Amino acid sequence: MAMPIEIATGLVEGVIARAAADPAREVCGLLFGGAGRIEAALATANVAADPATTFEIDPAALFAAHRAARAGGPAVIGCYHSHPSGRAVPSARDVAGAEPGQYWLIVAGRDARLYHAGPDGAFLSCPVSKP
């Protein structure tokens, strides 16, 4: 199990609401923060060929977020996405596409779970503490 991390108030509920508003597609976005805290989430377009079963964060949004971080903005520390007809656990595709060190918030219905991608490709469940 990974170290506990704080998540800004309302962030998880916002992601759950976004997923509920588009239940036929995997919604996705970026997570920002650092030092044991996820401070913000940014919704991005899902540009995957089949957004009902997979997600791909819009590369333009990802590049812009990294450019902003280099200029002193918040650091990109992970992503979120929904599993419209699945569970809030990493799929084999999620594990294969994960960048080590990044956080993944996965939402399915009202269930939201946070994971940390380890250096060996394993996903570690992250306990979430109240800020």
The residues annotated with a catalytic role in the active site are 26
Are 27 and 43 in contact by the 8 Å Cβ rule? The answer is: yes
Q: Which residues pair with 76 in a beta bridge?
A: 32
CA distance 30 to 57: 8
Per the CB < 8 A criterion, the answer to whether 87 and 35 are in contact is: no
Cβ atoms of 37 and 5 closer than 8 Å? yes
